[in-house]
Structure 1
Amino acid sequence: MSSSRVDGRALRFQHRRPELLAAATEYILEHGVTGLSLRPVAQALGVTHATLLRHFSSKDALLLAVAEKVRTDMAAWLMSDVELREARSAAELLRAVWRRLCEPQEQRQFLLLFEFVGHHGEKSGEDEELSRSIVQDWTEIIADRLAADGWPPEDASALSTLVLAQVRGLQLDLLVSGDRARADRAIDFAVRLLDHSTRAGSADDHG
């Protein structure tokens, strides 16, 4: 008999993974990572611990899947939202995204991010996938838009890192201080600098 025989139970439940991941993501966004155990997650999702493990082999595997879903959902929103699609520049896009990210439902992803960093910060190679999902994949999305504005690839890469750090840093500030007006002024200043730099670069290209 072939050793590659398919597990019938795995096939039967395979279609449920997206549904379970969506529900698990909502649960973890609401409850956080600290003290997280798979059994309460499974109970909240209405499945057995064994079923959850069949789809996500460990707690870390589930957390990685959740981090990736948060990123892909945001990327899909960036592509599908009419206001964002019609943004004429990265600066205009950043301003619109900031408004969305300040909504309480969206702010939960930053709380989760900061918990991820605290939970995984001292680990190494085993967290490369998580590191890519919460840092590199995001900077690539931003860099692609900056490149569309005319930024050279190396500059777009460096600036995307700066933009990501500004947004996350200001979200941390906002979560701690609750001072939305000050955070809005800071992001508006960053947007104006970005817009000015983009216009200056365009003028140099055509000068």
Structure 2
Amino acid sequence: MTRNQAMRWGVLLACVLMTNSVIAASRAFPRVVQSVQPNMVKIYGAGGIRGLEAYQSGMLISKEGHVLTVWSYVLDTDYITVTLNDGRKFKGELVGADPRLEIAVLKIEAEDLACFNVDESVELGSGDRVLAFSNLFGVATGNEPASVLHGSVAVRTPLSARRGAFESTYTGDVYVLDAMTNNPGAAGGALTDRQGRLVGLLGKELRNSLNN
């Protein structure tokens, strides 16, 4: 075998391996999405006037019905409705919140629920592919699945580096994504890797008079 023939065979083998990898990933994607959907919930509460949406997203983090979401005006009501992936609706009770971190935990009276294992969450770096699950635009009202967006991590950076341009009490690290995840209703959704492992929580859209 000549050197040129060996190079051609090497290129051909690389193309075959790459094609097989792409095919395997495309076949695994529906299974990953299907496995994550039961962990997602839709949250309805205060809002509905002056352009304030009365809904946001959340994720189950315990089999006993604990829901992690963002801290927002939507939760500023005595009656919060949490809708599961299968369409069941429950009254959500606010059991904890940290406005500084802009997160809140709700509790619903249910058992044996699918949920994320927070202890097995993963960290990603620039260029890693991600999936964003949320009820953006409030299109899911019953047993419809959460919307799923593909994207990648652009950078991980402290949010405090942007102080002055945005108003936020949170000053820790955030993932800047190459994906449109700041649509109405997306806040509180789940960010996962391509295997469906939890990466983080989709935050609220940040804006003020400088960038509105």
In proportion to residue count, which structure has more strand? 2
Which structure's residues are more often helix, by fraction?
A: 1
TM class, shorter-length: under 0.3
In the superposition, the TM-score normalised over structure 1's length comes to 0.25
TM-score, normalisation: structure 2: 0.25
